[in-house]
Amino acid sequence: MEKSLRQEGEERELLLLHPRAFRSSLSAGRELPEEPDSLKNPFQIDRSRILLSRAFRRLKLKGRLPLLSPSERCHSRLSSVWECWDLLRTLCGSLRLNDSLAEAILFSRPLGHPPFGSAGESALSRLHSEGFPLQEQSLRVVEKLENQGLGLNLTKEVRDGIRVIPKRGPFPFTPRHKPSTLECQAVLWVEVFSPLGEELEELFRSGLLKSEDLPVESLAALGADPETRRRRFLISLIQETRKNEYSYLSLEPSLADEVFILRDGVERALRENPLIQEETAKEERILEELFHLFLKNPEPYVDPFPPEERFETRIIDSLAALSDPAALSLFRRLSLPVSWNSV
Protein backbone atom coordinates (compact mmCIF):
# COMPACT_ATOMS: atom_id res chain seq x y z
CA MET A 1 0.00 0.00 0.00
CA GLU A 2 1.28 3.44 -0.92
CA LYS A 3 2.35 5.57 2.06
CA SER A 4 0.53 8.80 2.82
CA LEU A 5 2.36 12.12 2.95
CA ARG A 6 1.88 12.11 6.72
CA GLN A 7 3.56 8.71 7.05
CA GLU A 8 6.45 9.86 4.89
CA GLY A 9 6.89 12.87 7.16
CA GLU A 10 6.83 10.70 10.28
CA GLU A 11 9.55 8.51 8.79
CA ARG A 12 11.66 11.60 8.11
CA GLU A 13 11.27 12.56 11.77
CA LEU A 14 12.86 9.25 12.78
CA LEU A 15 15.89 10.12 10.67
CA LEU A 16 16.23 13.85 11.30
CA LEU A 17 15.05 14.55 14.86
CA HIS A 18 17.25 14.07 17.90
CA PRO A 19 16.54 10.79 19.74
CA ARG A 20 15.17 12.75 22.72
CA ALA A 21 12.85 14.89 20.57
CA PHE A 22 9.18 13.94 20.60
CA ARG A 23 7.93 12.03 17.55
CA SER A 24 4.55 12.94 16.10
CA SER A 25 3.72 9.25 15.66
CA LEU A 26 3.94 8.78 19.46
CA SER A 27 1.21 11.29 20.30
CA ALA A 28 -1.25 10.13 22.95
CA GLY A 29 -4.03 11.46 20.76
CA ARG A 30 -7.12 13.59 21.42
CA GLU A 31 -10.04 13.42 23.83
CA LEU A 32 -12.34 12.84 20.86
CA PRO A 33 -10.57 10.35 18.55
CA GLU A 34 -10.15 11.38 14.93
CA GLU A 35 -9.11 9.51 11.81
CA PRO A 36 -5.43 10.13 10.91
CA ASP A 37 -4.96 12.81 8.29
CA SER A 38 -3.27 11.78 5.05
CA LEU A 39 -1.37 15.08 4.77
CA LYS A 40 -0.58 16.46 8.23
CA ASN A 41 0.72 14.91 11.44
CA PRO A 42 -1.31 15.54 14.65
CA PHE A 43 0.77 18.54 15.77
CA GLN A 44 0.57 20.21 12.36
CA ILE A 45 -3.23 19.87 12.58
CA ASP A 46 -3.17 21.43 16.06
CA ARG A 47 -1.02 24.32 14.82
CA SER A 48 -3.44 25.04 11.96
CA ARG A 49 -6.47 24.96 14.26
CA ILE A 50 -4.83 27.40 16.66
CA LEU A 51 -3.64 29.82 13.95
CA LEU A 52 -7.14 29.91 12.41
CA SER A 53 -8.93 30.39 15.73
CA ARG A 54 -10.66 33.65 16.67
CA ALA A 55 -8.73 33.81 19.93
CA PHE A 56 -5.40 33.81 18.11
CA ARG A 57 -6.44 36.56 15.68
CA ARG A 58 -7.55 38.76 18.58
CA LEU A 59 -3.99 38.78 19.95
CA LYS A 60 -3.02 41.46 17.42
CA LEU A 61 -5.22 43.95 19.33
CA LYS A 62 -4.32 42.86 22.86
CA GLY A 63 -1.68 44.96 24.56
CA ARG A 64 1.66 43.72 25.79
CA LEU A 65 3.31 46.98 26.85
CA PRO A 66 1.63 49.60 29.06
CA LEU A 67 0.52 53.09 28.00
CA LEU A 68 0.87 52.53 24.25
CA SER A 69 -2.32 52.77 22.19
CA PRO A 70 -2.98 50.18 19.44
CA SER A 71 -1.93 52.71 16.78
CA GLU A 72 1.39 53.35 18.57
CA ARG A 73 1.98 49.85 19.88
CA CYS A 74 4.78 47.98 18.16
CA HIS A 75 4.38 45.07 20.58
CA SER A 76 0.97 43.49 20.79
CA ARG A 77 0.47 40.00 22.16
CA LEU A 78 0.68 38.76 18.58
CA SER A 79 4.00 40.45 17.81
CA SER A 80 5.36 38.98 21.04
CA VAL A 81 4.33 35.53 19.82
CA TRP A 82 6.16 36.06 16.52
CA GLU A 83 9.34 37.16 18.31
CA CYS A 84 9.16 34.03 20.45
CA TRP A 85 8.54 31.99 17.29
CA ASP A 86 11.71 33.35 15.67
CA LEU A 87 13.77 32.27 18.69
CA LEU A 88 11.97 28.94 18.85
CA ARG A 89 12.64 28.11 15.20
CA THR A 90 16.36 28.64 15.73
CA LEU A 91 16.34 26.48 18.86
CA CYS A 92 14.38 23.64 17.28
CA GLY A 93 16.56 23.67 14.18
CA SER A 94 19.83 23.67 16.12
CA LEU A 95 18.72 21.05 18.67
CA ARG A 96 16.75 18.97 16.14
CA LEU A 97 13.49 19.19 18.08
CA ASN A 98 9.96 18.70 16.75
CA ASP A 99 9.10 22.20 15.54
CA SER A 100 5.43 21.36 14.84
CA LEU A 101 4.83 20.41 18.48
CA ALA A 102 6.83 23.37 19.81
CA GLU A 103 4.95 25.85 17.60
CA ALA A 104 1.54 24.46 18.53
CA ILE A 105 2.38 24.88 22.22
CA LEU A 106 3.79 28.38 21.70
CA PHE A 107 0.82 29.64 19.68
CA SER A 108 -1.74 28.27 22.13
CA ARG A 109 -0.29 29.43 25.45
CA PRO A 110 -1.27 33.15 25.13
CA LEU A 111 -4.87 32.53 23.98
CA GLY A 112 -6.32 33.24 27.44
CA HIS A 113 -4.75 36.69 27.82
CA PRO A 114 -7.36 39.37 28.65
CA PRO A 115 -7.34 42.94 27.33
CA PHE A 116 -4.98 45.53 28.87
CA GLY A 117 -2.17 43.12 29.73
CA SER A 118 -1.30 42.71 33.39
CA ALA A 119 -3.96 45.26 34.37
CA GLY A 120 -6.58 42.98 32.83
CA GLU A 121 -5.21 39.95 34.65
CA SER A 122 -5.31 41.80 37.99
CA ALA A 123 -8.87 42.99 37.44
CA LEU A 124 -10.25 39.60 36.42
CA SER A 125 -8.40 37.88 39.27
CA ARG A 126 -10.24 40.11 41.73
CA LEU A 127 -13.61 39.87 40.01
CA HIS A 128 -13.74 36.08 39.75
CA SER A 129 -14.24 34.22 43.02
CA GLU A 130 -11.93 31.47 41.71
CA GLY A 131 -9.25 33.88 40.48
CA PHE A 132 -7.92 34.09 36.94
CA PRO A 133 -5.09 31.55 36.40
CA LEU A 134 -3.84 32.55 32.98
CA GLN A 135 -2.71 29.16 31.67
CA GLU A 136 -5.94 27.53 32.81
CA GLN A 137 -7.82 30.21 30.89
CA SER A 138 -5.82 29.42 27.74
CA LEU A 139 -6.72 25.78 28.26
CA ARG A 140 -10.40 26.71 28.61
CA VAL A 141 -10.21 28.59 25.31
CA VAL A 142 -9.00 25.54 23.35
CA GLU A 143 -11.12 22.99 25.23
CA LYS A 144 -14.43 24.76 25.83
CA LEU A 145 -14.73 28.21 24.26
CA GLU A 146 -13.46 28.10 20.68
CA ASN A 147 -15.57 26.64 17.87
CA GLN A 148 -18.87 27.74 19.44
CA GLY A 149 -18.17 25.90 22.67
CA LEU A 150 -16.97 22.67 21.07
CA GLY A 151 -13.26 23.41 21.52
CA LEU A 152 -10.39 22.57 19.17
CA ASN A 153 -9.84 18.96 20.30
CA LEU A 154 -6.06 19.35 20.51
CA THR A 155 -3.61 16.57 21.27
CA LYS A 156 -2.69 15.70 24.84
CA GLU A 157 0.91 16.89 24.38
CA VAL A 158 -0.15 20.38 23.29
CA ARG A 159 -2.75 20.68 26.08
CA ASP A 160 -0.12 19.61 28.62
CA GLY A 161 2.19 22.30 27.21
CA ILE A 162 -0.49 24.97 27.67
CA ARG A 163 -1.05 23.97 31.28
CA VAL A 164 2.58 24.39 32.46
CA ILE A 165 3.16 27.44 34.65
CA PRO A 166 6.74 28.79 34.40
CA LYS A 167 8.77 28.79 37.63
CA ARG A 168 11.00 31.56 38.88
CA GLY A 169 14.65 30.80 39.50
CA PRO A 170 17.54 29.41 37.45
CA PHE A 171 15.06 27.48 35.25
CA PRO A 172 11.55 28.32 34.01
CA PHE A 173 10.79 24.84 35.37
CA THR A 174 12.28 22.78 38.18
CA PRO A 175 14.64 20.06 36.87
CA ARG A 176 12.83 17.48 39.00
CA HIS A 177 9.44 18.53 37.63
CA LYS A 178 10.33 19.48 34.11
CA PRO A 179 7.73 19.41 31.31
CA SER A 180 7.32 16.06 29.63
CA THR A 181 8.80 17.19 26.28
CA LEU A 182 11.94 19.13 25.38
CA GLU A 183 9.76 21.09 22.95
CA CYS A 184 7.71 22.50 25.84
CA GLN A 185 10.91 23.38 27.71
CA ALA A 186 12.09 25.31 24.64
CA VAL A 187 8.83 27.28 24.62
CA LEU A 188 9.18 28.18 28.30
CA TRP A 189 12.74 29.42 27.79
CA VAL A 190 11.85 31.68 24.86
CA GLU A 191 8.87 33.07 26.79
CA VAL A 192 11.21 33.92 29.67
CA PHE A 193 13.67 35.69 27.40
CA SER A 194 11.24 37.43 25.01
CA PRO A 195 10.65 40.60 27.12
CA LEU A 196 14.40 41.29 27.03
CA GLY A 197 14.54 41.63 23.24
CA GLU A 198 12.73 44.21 21.13
CA GLU A 199 10.14 44.81 23.86
CA LEU A 200 12.81 46.23 26.12
CA GLU A 201 14.01 48.51 23.33
CA GLU A 202 10.45 49.75 22.79
CA LEU A 203 10.20 50.62 26.48
CA PHE A 204 13.45 52.58 26.22
CA ARG A 205 12.24 54.42 23.08
CA SER A 206 8.90 55.31 24.67
CA GLY A 207 10.61 56.77 27.74
CA LEU A 208 8.79 54.42 30.10
CA LEU A 209 12.13 52.91 31.10
CA LYS A 210 15.72 54.13 31.21
CA SER A 211 18.73 51.85 31.27
CA GLU A 212 19.69 53.25 34.67
CA ASP A 213 16.36 51.95 36.05
CA LEU A 214 17.60 48.37 35.54
CA PRO A 215 20.36 46.23 37.06
CA VAL A 216 23.34 47.62 35.14
CA GLU A 217 25.53 44.52 35.56
CA SER A 218 22.85 42.19 34.18
CA LEU A 219 22.19 44.42 31.18
CA ALA A 220 25.92 44.57 30.44
CA ALA A 221 26.29 40.79 30.78
CA LEU A 222 23.49 40.12 28.29
CA GLY A 223 24.30 42.90 25.83
CA ALA A 224 23.37 46.49 25.10
CA ASP A 225 21.24 45.74 22.02
CA PRO A 226 18.50 43.15 21.27
CA GLU A 227 20.47 41.19 18.67
CA THR A 228 23.45 40.70 21.02
CA ARG A 229 21.13 39.57 23.80
CA ARG A 230 19.35 37.12 21.50
CA ARG A 231 22.60 35.59 20.21
CA ARG A 232 24.07 35.13 23.69
CA PHE A 233 20.85 33.56 24.91
CA LEU A 234 20.50 31.14 21.99
CA ILE A 235 24.18 30.10 21.85
CA SER A 236 24.28 29.45 25.60
CA LEU A 237 21.01 27.47 25.57
CA ILE A 238 22.11 25.31 22.64
CA GLN A 239 25.61 24.66 23.98
CA GLU A 240 24.52 23.88 27.55
CA THR A 241 21.75 21.54 26.37
CA ARG A 242 24.20 19.61 24.20
CA LYS A 243 26.65 19.53 27.09
CA ASN A 244 24.12 17.88 29.43
CA GLU A 245 23.20 15.43 26.64
CA TYR A 246 19.64 16.72 26.32
CA SER A 247 18.63 15.81 29.87
CA TYR A 248 16.85 19.18 29.88
CA LEU A 249 17.22 22.58 28.22
CA SER A 250 19.48 24.85 30.25
CA LEU A 251 21.44 28.08 30.06
CA GLU A 252 24.92 28.62 31.40
CA PRO A 253 24.17 29.16 35.14
CA SER A 254 25.72 32.65 35.35
CA LEU A 255 23.82 33.81 32.25
CA ALA A 256 20.57 32.30 33.54
CA ASP A 257 20.98 34.32 36.74
CA GLU A 258 21.41 37.54 34.74
CA VAL A 259 18.33 36.79 32.60
CA PHE A 260 16.08 36.39 35.65
CA ILE A 261 17.65 39.36 37.48
CA LEU A 262 17.07 41.60 34.45
CA ARG A 263 13.50 40.33 33.98
CA ASP A 264 12.75 41.05 37.64
CA GLY A 265 14.31 44.50 37.27
CA VAL A 266 12.12 45.35 34.26
CA GLU A 267 8.95 44.16 36.00
CA ARG A 268 9.80 46.04 39.19
CA ALA A 269 10.60 49.29 37.34
CA LEU A 270 7.31 49.14 35.43
CA ARG A 271 5.34 48.25 38.55
CA GLU A 272 6.82 51.19 40.48
CA ASN A 273 6.39 53.75 37.68
CA PRO A 274 3.77 56.27 38.98
CA LEU A 275 2.41 57.03 35.51
CA ILE A 276 1.93 53.34 34.74
CA GLN A 277 0.26 52.81 38.12
CA GLU A 278 -2.21 55.58 37.39
CA GLU A 279 -3.08 54.40 33.89
CA THR A 280 -3.33 50.69 34.69
CA ALA A 281 -5.76 51.56 37.51
CA LYS A 282 -7.99 53.16 34.87
CA GLU A 283 -7.81 50.03 32.69
CA GLU A 284 -8.75 47.86 35.65
CA ARG A 285 -11.75 50.08 36.36
CA ILE A 286 -12.95 49.66 32.77
CA LEU A 287 -13.11 45.87 33.17
CA GLU A 288 -14.67 46.15 36.62
CA GLU A 289 -17.40 48.41 35.25
CA LEU A 290 -18.04 46.07 32.31
CA PHE A 291 -18.28 43.12 34.68
CA HIS A 292 -21.05 44.77 36.68
CA LEU A 293 -22.82 45.96 33.52
CA PHE A 294 -22.76 42.40 32.16
CA LEU A 295 -24.21 41.14 35.44
CA LYS A 296 -27.21 43.44 35.03
CA ASN A 297 -27.63 43.08 31.27
CA PRO A 298 -25.92 39.95 29.88
CA GLU A 299 -27.53 40.02 26.44
CA PRO A 300 -25.90 40.14 23.93
CA TYR A 301 -22.51 40.47 25.60
CA VAL A 302 -22.10 37.21 27.52
CA ASP A 303 -21.45 34.08 25.45
CA PRO A 304 -24.07 31.35 26.05
CA PHE A 305 -21.49 28.53 26.08
CA PRO A 306 -20.52 26.45 27.81
CA PRO A 307 -24.09 26.44 29.22
CA GLU A 308 -23.20 24.29 32.23
CA GLU A 309 -20.74 26.91 33.56
CA ARG A 310 -21.60 29.38 36.28
CA PHE A 311 -22.84 32.74 35.01
CA GLU A 312 -19.92 34.52 36.71
CA THR A 313 -17.43 32.32 34.85
CA ARG A 314 -19.08 32.98 31.49
CA ILE A 315 -18.85 36.74 32.13
CA ILE A 316 -15.13 36.39 32.86
CA ASP A 317 -14.71 34.33 29.67
CA SER A 318 -16.47 37.03 27.65
CA LEU A 319 -14.38 39.84 29.16
CA ALA A 320 -11.11 37.94 28.66
CA ALA A 321 -11.93 37.42 24.99
CA LEU A 322 -12.25 41.16 24.27
CA SER A 323 -9.46 43.02 22.50
CA ASP A 324 -8.26 46.32 24.00
CA PRO A 325 -10.17 48.51 21.47
CA ALA A 326 -13.30 46.37 21.81
CA ALA A 327 -13.26 46.66 25.61
CA LEU A 328 -12.78 50.43 25.42
CA SER A 329 -15.50 50.84 22.77
CA LEU A 330 -17.95 48.71 24.74
CA PHE A 331 -17.24 50.67 27.92
CA ARG A 332 -17.94 53.96 26.15
CA ARG A 333 -21.14 52.65 24.58
CA LEU A 334 -22.55 51.19 27.80
CA SER A 335 -21.30 53.79 30.30
CA LEU A 336 -21.36 57.17 28.54
CA PRO A 337 -24.33 59.11 27.15
CA VAL A 338 -24.52 58.96 23.37
CA SER A 339 -23.59 62.63 23.04
CA TRP A 340 -20.31 62.03 24.93
CA ASN A 341 -19.18 59.15 22.72
CA SER A 342 -18.25 61.53 19.92
CA VAL A 343 -16.22 63.86 22.15
Residue 299: count of CB within 10 angstroms of its CB: 7
Averaged pLDDT score across all residues of the chain: 92
Cα–Cα distance measured from residue 206 to residue 197, given in angstroms and rounded to the nearest whole number: 15
Nearest to 191 by CA among 95, 101, 77: 77
125 lies in some domain: yes
At residue 63, the pLDDT reads: 85
Structural domain harbouring 56:
42-213+275-341
Q: Which of 262, 82, 255 is nearest to 171 (CA)?
A: 255
Number of structural domains found in the chain: 1
CA 173 to chain centre: 16
Residue 310 lies in a domain: yes
Residue 342 has pLDDT above 80, yes or no: no
Reported pTM:
0.95
Question: Residue 66 pLDDT > 90, yes or no?
Answer: no
Cis amide prior to 300 (ω within 30 degrees): yes
Within-domain flag for 298: yes
- The pLDDT tens digits of the residues spanning 35-52 come to 999 999 999 999 999 999
Any idea what the CATH number is for the domain that residue 132 is in? Answer: 1.10.3210.10
Average pLDDT over residues 300-320: 91
Q: Which of 92, 101, 78, 97 is nearest to 154 (CA)?
A: 101
Kindly give, in sequence order, each residue whose CB lies less than 8 Å from that of residue 246, ignoring residues fewer than 6 positions away. 18, 20, 95, 182
pLDDT range class, residue 74, cuts 50, 70, 90: low
Note the pLDDT of residue 341: 61
Give the tens place of pLDDT for each residue, 252-269: 999 999 999 999 999 999
Predicted confidence at residue 70, as pLDDT, reads 47
Q: What per-residue confidence (pLDDT) applies to 188?
A: 96
Q: What distance in Å separates the CA atoms of residue 140 and residue 151, rounded to the nearest whole number?
A: 8
127-178 pLDDT tens trace: 999 999 999 999 999 999 999 999 999 999 999 999 998 887 778 887 777 8
Which pLDDT band holds residue 71 (cuts at 50, 70, 90)? very low
Q: Are 24 and 38 in contact (CB under 8 A)?
A: no
Average pLDDT over residues 72-86: 84
**Closest among 49, 307, 303, 283 to 159, alpha carbons compared:** 49
Q: What pLDDT is attached to residue 72?
A: 52
In percent, how much of the chain has pLDDT > 70?
95
Residues 6 or more apart whose CB falls under 8 angstroms from that of 66 comprise: 117, 118, 119, 208, 270, 276, 279, 280
Q: Is residue 79 part of a domain?
A: yes
**194-198 mean pLDDT:** 92
| pLDDT at residue 340, rounded to an integer | 65
Helix, strand, coil shares, percent, the chain, to 5 = 65, 0, 35
pLDDT for the residue 171? 82
Range in 5-9, 66-70, 203-207 with the lowest mean pLDDT: 66-70
Asked whether residue 285 is assigned to any structural domain, the reply reads yes
pLDDT surpasses 50 at 4: yes
Does residue 25 lie in a domain region?
no
Cα of 76 vs its chain's centroid, Å: 11
- The answer to whether residue 267 is domain-embedded is no
